[in-house]
Structure 1
Amino acid sequence: MGQCFTKAQSDQADSDQHVEFVGGNVCPVTSKEDWDQKLSEAKRDGKIVIANFSAAWCGPCRMLAPFFCELSEKYPSLMFLLIDVDELTDFSTSWDIKATPTFFFLKNGQQIDKLVGANKPELQKKITAILDSAANSGQ
């Protein structure tokens, strides 16, 4: 449901790519160093990370972006990151991204869950389950 599998070239200028993707408490990741810094920050603050691997040209990614921003405002105890697969190609490849959007849920830098596709109800469900699990484990 709602996935992009192939890469296409965007007619947009690079500076326009994040306009509809970043908002709320969503932090764009623009380098491997940036990623490492955000994960260290999340670990220090005890936050679970939701990493959204997407692309500016991907229709389902664009459709889900406002919802992802809403979630970031609704759940400030989580860290929401956005990784553009075209900007960070090698990094995205290291995460074995086959389709966009792909969401990784990380705790202490380790993957605890994953969601492929622009499925709003499933994304909400996974976030709720992760928060319930964290609350029940006393974190």
Structure 2
Amino acid sequence: MSAHPLDINAVSEWNTALRSATADGQTVIVDFWATWCGPCKAIAPVYDNLAKQYSWVKFLRVDVDKQQAIAQKYQISAMPTFVAIKAGKVVDTLKGADPAGLNRLVATHAGPNPPIPPMSAEAEAAKEEGNALFKAGDYAGARDKYGKAIELAPRSFVLLGNRAFASLKLASPDFSSALSDAEAAVKLAPTWAKGHVRRGEALEGLGRVDEAVKAFEEAVRTGTGQVKTEAAQKLEKAKTKLQ
């Protein structure tokens, strides 16, 4: 994901950006600006910094004079105007060069890091069945349901992580399968801390403790809240095994 706003130079670029963001579950933040607009230039560094801070969000810039069709579609009447878009629909708007307001807009609508791609109703149903079986302690059944969901949504790193966890919870844990799923998950979502935790657990179960330590370190680096705390605890335990 880019850490810099993307300048939109054609309607086709705009459409492609929105479609790809929807497919990836990304929030889109748009800066509608003009070259003659002094406040637009004044707040541009704030917008650039937010793009770096929220690297999982898609930041766009639209010059209203060059892309009048886009500006008219979104009824832009003042510059700068910042628009938050989710799944192709406008969810919030901010008019004017208001740094505090812009920070709030982005923080409110940024969504999870990394973004979670939307799934079909069939995939969601299979996932929920898997969750119910997991809660009931039927880990083998849960793994099968997660597998069906993955067939329908192969890009879902969350489903891969769920199946990895189910493999780890079996009476005879399937560490190899768990590792395969966890590695596929973090390949899709390199900053997903929970995926790195599952990868570390699988590696530790396979006796590859030195690699597990690195996986837990990555989980600590990318994680927040409870996931980060869990990763830190597992990291310390894994380090103890190496001593």
Counterpart in 1 of 2:89?
A: 110
Cα shift readout 1:75-115 (whole Å, capped 9, x = no counterpart): 01110000000101232112111100011100010011000
Q: Say whether the 8 Å CA contact 2:43–2:99 is kept in structure 1.
A: yes
TM-score, with structure 2 as normaliser = 0.44
Unaligned 5+ residue runs, structure 1? 1-22
Task: Please tell me the residue identity of whatever aligns with 2:100.
Answer: P
Cα shift readout 1:19-67 (whole Å, capped 9, x = no counterpart): xxxx951000011111000001111221100011100110000001111
| 1:128 paired to 2:107 | yes
Counterpart in 1 of 2:19?
A: 40
Alignment of 1:8-19 (within 5 A): none
Q: 1:72 aligns to what SS in structure 2?
A: helix
CA distance in structure 1 between the partners assigned to 2:102 and 2:39 by the alignment = 13
CA distance in structure 1 between the partners assigned to 2:27 and 2:96 by the alignment = 20
Task: Please tell me the residue identity of whatever aligns with 2:25.
Answer: G
CA distance in structure 2 between the partners assigned to 1:28 and 1:52 by the alignment = 9
TM-score, with structure 1 as normaliser = 0.76
Q: 1:30 aligns to what SS in structure 2?
A: coil
CA distance in structure 2 between the partners assigned to 1:44 and 1:25 by the alignment = 20
Give the counterpart of 2:78 among 99, 105, 127: 99
Task: Please tell me the residue identity of whatever aligns with 2:80.
Answer: P
Number of aligned residues = 113
Task: Please tell me the residue identity of whatever aligns with 2:11.
Answer: K
CA distance in structure 2 between the partners assigned to 1:53 and 1:43 by the alignment = 20
Give the counterpart of 1:89 among 44, 68, 81: 68
Task: Find the structure with the greater CA-based Rg.
Answer: 2
Task: Please tell me the residue identity of whatever aligns with 1:97.
Answer: I
Q: 2:66 aligns to what SS in structure 1?
A: coil
Counterpart in 2 of 1:79?
A: 58
Alignment of 1:24-39 (within 5 A): 24-39=3-18
CA distance in structure 2 between the partners assigned to 1:40 and 1:91 by the alignment = 15
CA distance in structure 2 between the partners assigned to 1:84 and 1:129 by the alignment = 25
Runs ≥4 in structure 1, deviation > 4 angstroms?
A: none
**Which structure shows the bigger proportion of residues in helix conformation?**
2
Counterpart in 2 of 1:62?
A: 41
Task: Please tell me the residue identity of whatever aligns with 2:40.
Answer: C
State the Cα RMSD in Å.
1.7
Task: Please tell me the residue identity of whatever aligns with 1:126.
Answer: L
